[in-house]
Structure 1
Amino acid sequence: MKQKFTLKNTYRFLLVVLGTIGLMINTELQLHSLLYYTTLSNLLCLVYFAYLISTKKVETGNFKGAVTLAITVTMLIYWLILAPYSFNVHGAFEMTGALSVHLFLPLAVILDWIFFDQKGQFTKKAPVYWLAIPLSYYAFTVVAATLKVVYPLTNTHYPYYFIDSNMYGWTRVFINVIFLTLFFLVLGYGFYRLDKKLGQNK
């Protein structure tokens, strides 16, 4: 048991250190990077795991599921929607940063849940609550657009084209948001079902 605890915390320490370096490379420490879901979800994971390490807390609750889903959203949105149209990184340095925040850290968080968390702890309604993080970010983008905030990477009032009401209109954006919400709700319940199944196998 002691060996497993040591392995878990070593893994999480490396996750935080390497994830922090990757985030610093990707954002170049620009303050405006905090406007983007990618940065915020990565930062959430790093702060959360740093907290777990510092308190030696054994996390088995629903909040771990919320963090895991939040960073999974980052990975899937990037690779399924954004990357095919905007994969414009240049050089190994930028590539390292992009892969870190969009692939390496998300996979590391998912693997942490698979290998180190006690299973069978998620409640049935938890996946619904997990949607609060991505939906809160969308609400933030609507408020920011109303205040005429400009996102440097797109030079528009929206961070991502698929929620840009100026480009597509509110009806299309509403449909996009509903579709993505349902998709990630299904994904959340996928985590829930897997959690239950792995818990029963122990």
Structure 2
Amino acid sequence: MNDQVSTFGRLGAGIVGIVALGTLVLQTTINTEPGTSPLENFALLFRFFTIWSNFAGGVAMLWIAAGRPISERMTFALATALTIVALVYHALLAADHHPVGLDWWTNLNFHTIIPATFVLWWAVFSDRAHLTWRSLPWVMVFPIIYTAFALIYGASTGFYAYFFLDLPSLGWGQLLLNMIGLSLFFVAMGAVLLALRKLLRRDLA
């Protein structure tokens, strides 16, 4: 990236990062109940993949805004994760989910604004030379880490955030099939993002 694009890129990254982490702080205050601390409520949010991906995306954007180097594969993996967060919510959950007040704003940010702006930033400012089809396995980094956490947390508390990871109800056989399906979904979405970025860069060239 040239200096001008790099400057705009860092500015854009800073805005996205501030919105992402600010939304997390706001959601923590909304969820705080009598007898619990904000830190406890912040930790409870991380039961959900949506929060993992938004938090990681926000940290990555602020890291970039500070002028720090970051792996192109890492931002690619985050772009894929956030795209899936948005698609799954709007395709499967939004019709039956009707948040109000401040919850409406945080929900909009988590499932629409932050994913869209992160992916747009990635499409415009990421370095094409460092990403090829061989980068696709990297999209599995975050779902693998989250799945391991979710299974450990579920085994210790009995709470599974998503039905397709509910090991006691599913059994190992169905769980493994679900994980294979999710893996293919992530890889396919990563491939779509790479293809779309190539088209975008070609049109802008």
TM-score (norm 1): 0.81
Distance between the aligned counterparts of 2:78 and 2:192, measured in 1?
15
Instruction: In structure 2, give the amino acid aligned to 1:13.
Output: G
**What CA deviation, in whole Å up to 9, does each residue of 1:4-28 have, x standing for no partner?**
3333222222112222222222333
Name which of structure 1's ranges 180-189 and 72-81 shifts more when overlaid on structure 2.
Answer: 72-81
Aligned residue-pair number = 192
Name 1:121's counterpart in structure 2. 130
Name 1:149's counterpart in structure 2. 157
Check the 8 A contact 1:62/1:123 in 2, yes or no.
no
Return the offset for 1:199. 5.0
Once the two structures are aligned, what percentage of the paired residues are identical?
22
**What CA deviation, in whole Å up to 9, does each residue of 1:63-92 have, x standing for no partner?**
22112112223222322334345x142x22
Q: Where do residues 1-20 of structure 1 align in structure 2 (5 Å cutoff)? A: 2-20=3-21
Return the offset for 1:130. 1.8
Return the offset for 1:96. 0.3
Residue ranges of structure 2 left out of the alignment (5+ in a row): 30-37
Name which of structure 1's ranges 109-118 and 158-167 shifts more when overlaid on structure 2.
Answer: 158-167
Distance 1:53 1:172, change over 3 A: same
Name which of structure 1's ranges 170-179 and 33-42 shifts more when overlaid on structure 2.
Answer: 170-179
1:133 aligns with 2:133: no
Distance 1:181 1:56, change over 3 A: closer
Residue ranges of structure 1 left out of the alignment (5+ in a row): 151-156
What's the RMSD between the two structures over aligned residues?
A: 2.4
Check the 8 A contact 2:137/2:187 in 1, yes or no.
yes
Which structure features the higher share of helix residues?
2
Counterpart among 39, 52, 71 of residue 51 in structure 2: 39
Distance between the aligned counterparts of 2:104 and 2:200, measured in 1?
35
Counterpart among 178, 192, 195 of residue 176 in structure 1: 178
Distance between the aligned counterparts of 1:61 and 1:116, measured in 2?
10
Check the 8 A contact 2:140/2:187 in 1, yes or no.
yes
Distance between the aligned counterparts of 1:5 and 1:37, measured in 2?
30
Distance between the aligned counterparts of 1:133 and 1:55, measured in 2?
23
Return the offset for 1:123. 2.6
Name 1:65's counterpart in structure 2. 76
| Partner SS for 2:128 | coil
Name 1:165's counterpart in structure 2. 167
Distance 1:12 1:74, change over 3 A: same
